[in-house]
Structure 1
């Protein structure tokens, strides 16, 4: 800009009769883009901007944080996400750039809960998550537990966090809490949820919990976080702070804020005896897809999955597709693809014995997915197919409750 304002500089202006301040980001489409203190971006005529001060660059490496070694040993395993993000003043976008130690600096209260070590197996936006990174993540988490960690906090982008939590639920038999946490709003925004979520996740990590969970805001207020089972949780809103919900089951517990008191439900798995080793089984079959059925869908869409070892279908209601798609599904099954039926309804369970279409699907060889969430069913099928090749055994395991992914009302006493 000709005004001498550089990205990151503090600027002010009078706009629509109001005095506004923010940080200059960039110039785009002939407008200066500034990030207001509210967290929102504003495009404005650069001529009315006044430079207030130069933004001092953040040092790449900061002084090491002093930690109390008498506190429980905890691990932060960072994969990126909004909880570990900051503004890129060149583009105005929120980018995942922090390393795990930066989280301790951003949330000073963490140092009062545990003595932390930090690992960074990936630094990605969550839409770039892959099964290969799941394996690396699971291995890193297990290593931290073997080194004595009393709990592991996994920072993760919220968009695919439910997939990753389900993946680690199947890949690791854990004796300690493995807690996924993220934030819907980055630390630069006044409404950020990163501090509360981070502190509540640490409190859950030192609790008696003994399974994989997701800890996030339970309401839009800063009053408590919910502890969700990793195989029963879903992101249900794009931007609200209370975006995550346990579907078809009860939450595992709560963490009050700011007291950080943890209350676990009777259904939550408990921490194992100290010294118990985690069990890692990270075999995954990546050739597994998920298909959302829609009215008028051509059988050719189903046929596109030819050669896949597994397919999860999100059917309507009790678990249906159009009759015209059934021959294509039958062909997949005949060629060796394990097809699992789930429901788009999310709540309730699949039952393909009520209507003729459902019975035809059963005769075609599909596997009823009970009340599994489609995402959890897909990850579970990847894990099952990674460990079993016999179709009957695959079907049996998909109908068996392994990590709480099937609800209380599912057949076979689950």
Structure 2
């Protein structure tokens, strides 16, 4: 057991993701055959995404936590931990989030670290896979079912990224938003912007000149959707096409949180806007899928 921090998860910062990734890499290099990361639930999905991008791993890395503390009769601590141990001992060499799959104390789901989101403030089954199924389901510390092919142990060699950019903004579009928000981030020296647009990936047309300014100054801007399910498509409506002309990068079907984390990691590798675009448009850890199925929304 290694305690990296004793902080509430809302106090996490990108530099902590990098430090955690390096510590995990050290543990794997020292012979660990699986790693469990205990984490507060509020920002767990940010950290799981960061570890997915910062690390290539030959062993399972499992992020888990609890919605209810261990002194409460309804705690989910025990079940989540036991099944996380099962996931860490399994052949699934990916970064995953292992938490309750229902309100019952029986099964946990192992979600992809880049396809998971906290969906309820207090329910024990708050974590859900978005636009995908969980990688696996576990009961009594054992894998009971897998739902898709996965990276197996020792298929990849251990690699860890050595830098991350923390001066990245996340801006949510809303009726009446001011273009000054974009200009503010440019003037304050932000290195990249993640835009949480409406619908298929839109912001008001009057914001286009400010986004063009960002591109002219070498600041990559990535468009995602504030809709939970589905994917960005800026080709459909005229506003979206203007955003394409303003060099907005499509976030495809990444959630805003995953897109933000990936942009931090991409800018930690390079400040060349074309190379950042290439990284953002490349599927690295399963965050981008070829097509999105409606069945995940209906379920």
Give the structure-1-normalised TM-score. 0.68
Partner of 1:386: 268
Partner of 1:319: 201
Q: Which has the larger radius of gyration?
A: 1
- Kindly indicate whether residue 29 of structure 2 is the aligned counterpart of residue 165 of structure 1: no
CA offsets, 1:55-100, max 9 Å, x none? Answer: xxxxxxxxxxxxxxxxxxxxxxxxxxxxxxxxxxxxxxxxxxxxxx
- Kindly indicate whether residue 100 of structure 2 is the aligned counterpart of residue 221 of structure 1: no
Partner of 1:303: 183
Distance 1:163 1:138 in 2: 13
| Aligned partner (choices 117, 127, 130) of residue 10 of structure 2 | 127
Say which SS state the counterpart of residue 191 (structure 1) adopts. coil
- Kindly indicate whether residue 221 of structure 2 is the aligned counterpart of residue 339 of structure 1: yes
CA offsets, 1:212-234, max 9 Å, x none? Answer: 00000011111200000001110
**Is the 2:218–2:272 Cα contact (8 Å) retained in structure 1?**
no
> Mapping of 1:36-55 within 5 angstroms?
none
**Is the 1:299–1:324 Cα contact (8 Å) retained in structure 2?**
yes
CA separation of 1:237/1:168 partners in 2, compared to 1, >3 Å: closer, same or farther? same
Per the TM alignment, residue 259 of structure 1 is displaced from its structure 2 partner at its CA by 5.9
**Is the 1:249–1:407 Cα contact (8 Å) retained in structure 2?**
no
**Is the 1:176–1:272 Cα contact (8 Å) retained in structure 2?**
yes
CA offsets, 1:91-132, max 9 Å, x none? Answer: xxxxxxxxxxxxxxxxxxxxxxxxxxx111111110111112
- Provide the alpha-carbon RMSD of the alignment: 1.3
**Is the 1:138–1:171 Cα contact (8 Å) retained in structure 2?**
yes
Between 185-194 and 260-269, the greater mean CA deviation after superposition: 260-269
Distance 1:152 1:262 in 2: 20
- Kindly indicate whether residue 204 of structure 2 is the aligned counterpart of residue 204 of structure 1: no
Distance 1:259 1:192 in 2: 17
Structure with greater contact order relative to length (CA < 8 Å, sep ≥ 6):
2
Distance 2:8 2:129 in 1: 23
> Mapping of 1:246-285 within 5 angstroms?
246-256=129-139, 258=140, 260-272=142-154, 277-285=157-165
Distance 2:278 2:142 in 1: 41
**Is the 2:95–2:112 Cα contact (8 Å) retained in structure 1?**
yes
CA offsets, 1:354-376, max 9 Å, x none? Answer: 11100111111111110011111
Partner of 2:256: 374
Distance 1:239 1:232 in 2: 20
Distance 1:156 1:211 in 2: 17
Distance 1:186 1:282 in 2: 34
| Aligned partner (choices 166, 171, 179) of residue 291 of structure 1 | 171
**Is the 2:99–2:125 Cα contact (8 Å) retained in structure 1?**
yes
- Kindly indicate whether residue 299 of structure 2 is the aligned counterpart of residue 397 of structure 1: no
> Is there any run of 5+ residues in structure 1 with no aligned partner, and where?
1-117
Distance 1:331 1:151 in 2: 46
Give the structure-2-normalised TM-score. 0.94
Say which SS state the counterpart of residue 317 (structure 1) adopts. coil
Give 1 or 2: higher strand fraction: 1
> Mapping of 1:48-197 within 5 angstroms?
118-197=1-80
Per the TM alignment, residue 261 of structure 1 is displaced from its structure 2 partner at its CA by 3.7
Per the TM alignment, residue 408 of structure 1 is displaced from its structure 2 partner at its CA by 3.0
**Is the 2:82–2:141 Cα contact (8 Å) retained in structure 1?**
no
Number of corresponding residues = 290
Per the TM alignment, residue 277 of structure 1 is displaced from its structure 2 partner at its CA by 4.9
